[in-house]
Amino acid sequence: MTADLDRIWRDEWGRLLALLVGQFRRLDLAEDALADAFEAATRTWPRDGIPANPAAWLLTAARRRAIDRIRAEAVAARKEPLLVVDARIQEEAQRAMADAGDSPAALADERLRLVFLCAHPALASEAAAALTLRLVLGVSTADLARLFLVAEPTMAARLTRARKKLALAGVPFALPTPERLAERIDVVATVAYLAFTAGYAPGSGPDVVRAELAGEAIRLTRLLRQLLQGYAAQPPTAGTLLDALLALMLLQHSRRDARVDAAGLVVLLPEQDRARWHHNEIAEALDLLGRLTDGSVTLDARATEFLLQALIAAEHARAASAAATDWPRIATLYAALERLAPSPAVRLARAVAVAEAEGAEAGLSLLEGLAAGLPRSHRLPAIRAELLMRAGRNDEARAAYDLAISLCANDAERAHLAARRAVLA
């Protein structure tokens, strides 16, 4: 029963919430009513059995709760001039009666509205990412706290602030105008990718991968693609942007099971057991990339950035073994990425690829002057140390490892660095 309810929550939460927000135009009311309906289901379904149409049951229950609350609020608002209250009750009641016409097309529009409401540029990206996963996909506050590495009360407060901001600032529950659609899809893509990378950001505790939660960002991207398909105003670049983003996330996500060993330690790419990669996800991503690179589509800068990153991940995914990796091609792709979107992080990754393709010294020369851009990162000294060791510059390598170990906050990664340094001693 719990498993059934969890599955129904996962499948139906966002859809039902979108319908309720569409009907009542109030996020707080809709969310509370739907949470109440699910709560009622956990009490009554084990006794009475799962209804034939669980979603319809939940929607009816939630609508009843919402209308009850509107009535209660109207009573509480007696201090308001009578006419105002009357007019408001009438208006809300009419909305409640007018069934939003739950046709598939209307429903897709309501869900898109919900996505654009939560992933709104008036919210900070992190808050928007958390709120979107919460409201569109029904991810729990506890899971969001885990994903974004904050305490649960902190996450709850962040979500409350975000909801309040949307209501106070007058953010509409509406589809963007056609002129704004492309930039708004861009914002959703940013929010989805932020949520995804949060799942792979090393924490300060022993928890290395919150991969399952990162997968929720993939679900969001799939949902957005699906909702936009058949949406007349969809700008031509939206499809390619989301395809490139989805390919990138699938490729990175496909390695999740091989990224940690039984003891919870990080397993770096060359040592990963490639049989444990999710090859169905890799195949799906390669198929997407094939269509993005066959010359039939045009990509904007943002989509190209995702595409280049995905093509790099695809080179790793395609290689039968670490030794078979096409490093010269990866180095070329990183150079293109750096031209398009220069950053210390991209330079660092490019240096690693160049070191593999042309030797450690070539990689080291690309690291020159990077320390200013990455002052507190343990990654830069860790990579320098590795390359110095390969170049036979052992004294410098030891010093670099010591620096990396002192900067690293993650238990598993620090253990890995200490083990590498021990090889030199």
Among 10, 95, 161, 180, binds other proteins (CB under 8 A): 180
Q: CB 67: neighbour CB atoms within 10 A? A: 18
Using the contact rule CB under 8 A, the part of the chain among 58-66, 163-171, 215-223, 351-359 near other proteins is 163-171
Give the dihedral sign, CA 384/385/386/392: positive
Q: Which of 317, 347, 319 is nearest to 331 (CA)?
A: 347
The DSSP letter of residue 260 is B
Residue nearer to other proteins on the CB measure, 104 or 170: 170
Report if residue 81 touches other proteins, rule: CB under 8 A. Answer: no
Smallest separation, CB 168 to other proteins (Å): 6
Number of residues near other proteins (by CB under 8 A): 10
Please give the single-letter amino acid code of residue 187: V
Using the contact rule CB under 8 A, the part of the chain among 40-48, 171-179, 296-304, 344-352 near other proteins is 171-179
Residue nearer to other proteins on the CB measure, 94 or 177: 177
Beta bridge partners of 266: 260
Report if residue 171 touches other proteins, rule: CB under 8 A. Answer: yes
Using the contact rule CB under 8 A, the part of the chain among 101-109, 127-135, 173-181, 269-277 near other proteins is 173-181
Maximum distance among all alpha carbons in the chain?
A: 85
Beta bridge partners of 260: 266
CA distance 197 to 174: 28
CA distance 113 to 109: 6
Secondary structure of residue 186 in the 3-state scheme: helix
Smallest separation, CB 8 to other proteins (Å): 33
Residue nearer to other proteins on the CB measure, 188 or 367: 188
Smallest separation, CB 26 to other proteins (Å): 14
Residue nearer to other proteins on the CB measure, 178 or 290: 178
Q: Is-contact 220 137, C-beta < 8 A?
A: yes
Report if residue 88 touches other proteins, rule: CB under 8 A. Answer: no
Please classify residue 1 by burial: count the beta carbons closer than 10 Å to its beta carbon, then call 0-12 exposed, 13-18 middle and 19+ buried: exposed
Instruction: For 195, list phi and psi in degrees, rounded to 5.
Output: -65, -40
Buried b / exposed e along 31-59 (16+ C-beta atoms within 10 A): bbbbebbbebbeeebeeeeeeeebeebbb
Instruction: For helices 236-253 and 301-318, give the axis angle rounded to 10 degrees.
Output: 30
Q: Which of residues 95-124 bind other proteins (CB under 8 A)?
A: 122
Report if residue 169 touches other proteins, rule: CB under 8 A. Answer: yes
Using the contact rule CB under 8 A, the part of the chain among 18-26, 170-178, 212-220, 378-386 near other proteins is 170-178
Report if residue 177 touches other proteins, rule: CB under 8 A. Answer: yes
Among 170, 295, 369, 375, binds other proteins (CB under 8 A): 170
Among 76, 174, 201, 423, binds other proteins (CB under 8 A): 174
Among 172, 206, 236, 342, binds other proteins (CB under 8 A): 172
End-to-end CA distance of the chain: 57
Contact residues for other proteins (CB under 8 A)? 122, 168-172, 174, 176-177, 180
